[in-house]
Amino acid sequence: MKGTSAKDREGKAAPGDGLAVIEEAIPFGDFYVDLQGIVRATKVSTFELKALLKELKVRGIPMRSQVPKPGDYVVGTVDEDLPEDMYSITIYKINNEETKAGITAILVTGRRPRGRGEGAPVELNDIVRAKILGVVDGIAFAALSDDRCGVLWTRCSRCGGKVARQHGGYVRCLKCGNREYRRLAPDFLSVDAIS
Ligand SMILES: [Zn+2]
């Protein structure tokens, strides 16, 4: 009975979609088998089940737009302060196109030019635009490398209040008056840039 009901199947799958039970076919490609013995796709994939051959091929579709390339502009949130003037950012836009959550990059800020401001160019939770320098072992490295780059949104690091732009790369807190340095993007606080 079981043998006669076996049919070839093919289609698209999202990550986690169940494609077959492990007894049905030997899987190849981008899959995992869960505790119940169900073969599931690890990525957005196409799959092809050949019932007679008992063969299941799962091919992950590379999502080009999801992987930043050198020269891409990314917008993301600074979520970790790393050693050596580096930060981890979570990217949510690549070249103005929204991306799925979970893509991170290392923002390399380097040393500030002498005489420009005080303090770090970015702070935790800032939203920044940065340019991708390169991808090494799947890790994207970005920098505030040209005039389009910089902080798009920030809050006072002392009290969390809203800030306004000041001359010379400073922001001033509208609540507590605290003045602090940021490397600001030209379109700082632009709703278009951060949404
Ligand atoms: Zn403040």
pLDDT in tens, 143-161: 999 999 999 999 999 999 9
pLDDT of residue 191: 84
pLDDT of residue 1: 37
Q: How far is CA 32 from the centre of its chain?
A: 23
CA of 150 relative to ligand 1 center, distance in Å: 20
Delimit the CATH 2.40.50.140 region(s) of the chain.
Answer: 67-194
Q: Kindly report which listed range (8-22, 32-46, 101-115) carries the lowest average pLDDT score.
A: 101-115
CA of 43 relative to ligand 1 center, distance in Å: 44
With a cut of 90, say whether residue 2 has pLDDT above it.
Answer: no
CA of 142 relative to ligand 1 center, distance in Å: 29
Q: Which fold has domain 2-60?
A: OB fold (Dihydrolipoamide Acetyltransferase, E2P) (2.40.50)
Identify the burial level of 191 via C-beta atoms within 10 angstroms of its C-beta, where 0-12 means exposed, 13-18 middle and 19 or more buried: exposed
Average pLDDT estimate for 73-89: 93
Average pLDDT estimate for 116-131: 86
With a cut of 50, say whether residue 181 has pLDDT above it.
Answer: yes
CA of 161 relative to ligand 1 center, distance in Å: 5
Collapsing DSSP to helix, strand or coil, 65 comes out as helix
Cβ-contact 132, 142 below 8 angstroms: yes
Q: Which CATH architecture has domain 67-194?
A: Beta Barrel (2.40)
Q: Residue 194 — pLDDT band, cuts 50, 70, 90?
A: confident
pLDDT of residue 111: 63
CA of 177 relative to ligand 1 center, distance in Å: 6
Averaged pLDDT score across all residues of the chain: 88
Residues 10/12/16/18 CA torsion (nearest 10 deg): -20
Cβ-contact 99, 66 below 8 angstroms: yes
Distance in angstroms (rounded) separating the CA atoms of residues 147 and 153 = 16
pLDDT of residue 137: 82
Cβ-contact 13, 27 below 8 angstroms: no
Q: Residue 114 — pLDDT band, cuts 50, 70, 90?
A: low
